[in-house]
A = this chain, B = another copy of it.
Amino acid sequence: MSNALVVFSGGQDSTTCVYWAKQRFKTVYAVTFDYRQRHSLELESARKIAEMAGVVHEIIDLGPIFAGLSPLTDHSLKVDTYEDSESIPEGLATTFVPGRNILFFSVAANRAYVHDCNTLVVGVSQQDFGGYPDCRHDFIAKMTAALASGLDRPFKIEAPLMNRTKAETVELAAILPNCLDALAYSTTCYNGVFPPCGECNSCLLRAKGFAEANVVDPLLVRAAAEVKK
């Protein structure tokens, strides 16, 4: 059994990946990026969930590294909201941060090299990602080749959710020990609020996934309990 390093945002998908990796690798490392994202609440989620999962965790401060174009990094822009998941337009979502995964995987590869991991685990999916090109299989294959060449080491990127719909990801989470408990503390909302806004494309796709999998979202259970207090 070898070691793996999970690119861990504190969101639903990468939380599921942390628990998936725990079943398969000797030591699991997780790295989370602070890039002055609007939804910086996910950093708190990452810290909490890494502790629950008992993985070695590092938050890497990238500063305001990404210039322009996305409301996730340019806080003067507004995140688009929608009536329901059916109203989300096709094509590249306005939240696309150019090169985000390219950069995250690059820094993660540096840490993987240092920690002697030859596997990165990433939570990308071709199914549900607003057309983000850096979530597609083609990108993952090419980035793997670039990392292995640039580091001169055998290197693998595992993307266990690549071909899963959000509902199938929920079904996977439901059979991974303690994963649903952890998902109660994850952050998905692009507006970075708790309780989640329920109107951004990220919230809507999460809700759709849990509904289709017929599983109650533990995050909403926690939100309801907090509101009652």
- Chain A residues in the interface with B (C-beta under 8 A): 60-63, 65-69, 92, 97-99, 101-103, 106-107, 109-111, 113-114, 133-134, 136, 138-139, 142-143, 145-147, 149-152
Most buried by B among A98, A149, A150: A150
**Assembled-state Cα–Cα distance A146/B141 (Å):** 8
Interface of A is mostly: helix
Can you add 13 more A-B contacts, CB < 8 Å, to A103-B103, A139-B149?
Answer: A62-B63, A98-B110, A102-B106, A102-B150, A103-B106, A133-B149, A138-B149, A139-B146, A142-B149, A143-B146, A143-B149, A145-B146, A146-B146
Copies of this chain, count: 2
Give the residues in chain B near A109, CB-CB below 8 Å. Answer: 98-99, 102
> Which of B110, B138, B145 contacts A67 (CB under 8 A)?
B110
Q: What are 9 residue pairs bridging A and B, where the CB atoms are less than 8 Å apart in the complex?
A: A67-B110, A98-B110, A102-B109, A102-B150, A133-B150, A133-B152, A136-B149, A138-B149, A139-B146
A188 to nearest B CB, angstroms? 22
Give the residues in chain B near A111, CB-CB below 8 Å. Answer: 67
**Assembled-state Cα–Cα distance A138/B69 (Å):** 31
A117 to nearest B CB, angstroms? 12
A33 to nearest B CB, angstroms? 10
